[in-house]
C-alpha cells in the first residue's frame, strides 16, 4: 500500500487530502511545512509527496530543492498559482507533476497513480551508517545521486557534470518525452545562450559512454528524447 506524505499548512485542505487518499487505500503522513517534512523522511517509508507551494517556515519549492540534494522521491506540487512560470519552475527544480487548486478527487488520484507508475522501481531508500542514500537501478545501470556517479555492470562511467545531470533527469522521468527546449532549460538553465544542438551532443556522448545500454535513451522524432527501461 503506497504511503503518501502530505505537506500542507492549511488544516482543512490537509484533512480533505487525507480523507480522499485513505478512502482510495493509501496510507498518509502529514507535515505542516517543508522543514517538518524533511525531518520525517529519515524515519518514515514514503512513496510520494504532495507538496503545497505556499507554506511558512520552508515553502514547497525550497523543500524540493533540499530534497533533491539526496532523494529521488516523487513529488507532486499543489498550488493555487496557475502561472506558467511557476509551473515551469516547479518542474525544473525536480517536481514530477503540478496540480492547480481547486482540483477534483478524481484528478488527484489519477495524477498520483500516473506518477507512481512512471517512477515505480526508481526510488529506493537505503540506510547505511545512519545516512540515507538513494540509488536508482535500471537493468544493470546504477545511479547514485549523492555521489553523482553512474555505473554500468558495476564499472564506473566517467561523465561530465552536464552529462550526469541530463541522464539523471531522464532516468527520474522514465518514459516521459521531453523536447530539446525543455531539456535545455531544465539542465542548462534559462540564462544559457547555447542552442538545442547542445542537448543532441550530450545525448550522443551519453549513448556512447553507456554502452551497451545507451539505446535506452530514445529519440522521439519531431519532439525530443525519452528514457525507457526496455527496448
188, 139 Cβ separation under 8 angstroms:
no
What is the rounded CA–CA span in Å between residue 78 and residue 108? 10
pLDDT tens for each residue of 132-159: 346 788 878 888 887 788 999 888 988 8
What is the rounded CA–CA span in Å between residue 5 and residue 88? 22
pLDDT tens for each residue of 13-65: 999 999 999 998 899 999 999 999 998 887 788 889 999 988 888 888 889 88
pLDDT of residue 9: 92
pLDDT tens for each residue of 160-184: 888 888 999 898 888 888 898 889 8
CATH tag for 161-227 (out of 3.30.70.260, 3.40.50.2000, 1.10.10.10, 3.30.70.100): 1.10.10.10
The CA distances from residue 27 to 20, 47, 60, 79, 81, in Å, are: 11, 10, 21, 22, 27
Dihedral over alpha carbons 62, 85, 71, 104 (to 10 degrees): 100
What is the rounded CA–CA span in Å between residue 96 and residue 120? 13
pLDDT tens for each residue of 62-99: 898 888 777 778 899 998 877 777 777 777 777 888 88
Using only the alpha carbons of the chain, give its radius of gyration.
Answer: 18
Residue 127 in this model has a pLDDT that exceeds 60 = no
Q: What is the pTM of this model?
A: 0.55
Domain spans of the chain?
A: 3-119, 161-227
- Class (C level, CATH) for 3-119: alpha beta
Q: Is the peptide bond before 212 cis (omega within 30 degrees of 0)?
A: yes
Amino acid at each position: 500500500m503506497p504511503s503518501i506524505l502530505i505537506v500542507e499548512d492549511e488544516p482543512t485542505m490537509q484533512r480533505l487530502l487525507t480523507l480522499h487518499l485513505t478512502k482510495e487505500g493509501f496510507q498518509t503522513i502529514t507535515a505542516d511545512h517543508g522543514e517538518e517534512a524533511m525531518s520525517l523522511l529519515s524515519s518514515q517509508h514514503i512513496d510520494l509527496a504532495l507538496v503545497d507551494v505556499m507554506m511558512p517556515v520552508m515553502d514547497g519549492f525550497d523543500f524540493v530543492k533540499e530534497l533533491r540534494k539526496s532523494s529521488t522521491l516523487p513529488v507532486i506540487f499543489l498550488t493555487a498559482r496557475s502561472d506558467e512560470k511557476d509551473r515551469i519552475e516547479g518542474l525544473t527544480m525536480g517536481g514530477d507533476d503540478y496540480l492547480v487548486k481547486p482540483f477534483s478527487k478524481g484528478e488527484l488520484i489519477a495524477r498520483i497513480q500516473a506518477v507512481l507508475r512512471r517512477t515505480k522501481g526508481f526510488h529506493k531508500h537505503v540506510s547505511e551508517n545512519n545516512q540515507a542514500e538513494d540509488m536508482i537501478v535500471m537493468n544493470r545501470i546504477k545511479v547514485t545521486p549523492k555521489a553523482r556517479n553512474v555505473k554500468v555492470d558495476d564499472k564506473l562511467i566517467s561523465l561530465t557534470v552536464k552529462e550526469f545531470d541530463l541522464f539523471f533527469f531522464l532516468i527520474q522521468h522514465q518514459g516521459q518525452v521531453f523536447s530539446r527546449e525543455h531539456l535545455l532549460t531544465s539542465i542548462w538553465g534559462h540564462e544559457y545562450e547555447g542552442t538545442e544542438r547542445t542537448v543532441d551532443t550530450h545525448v550522443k556522448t551519453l549513448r556512447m559512454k553507456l554502452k551497451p545500454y545507451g539505446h535506452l535513451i530514445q529519440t522521439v522524432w519531431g519532439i525530443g528524447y525519452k528514457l525507457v527501461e526496455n527496448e
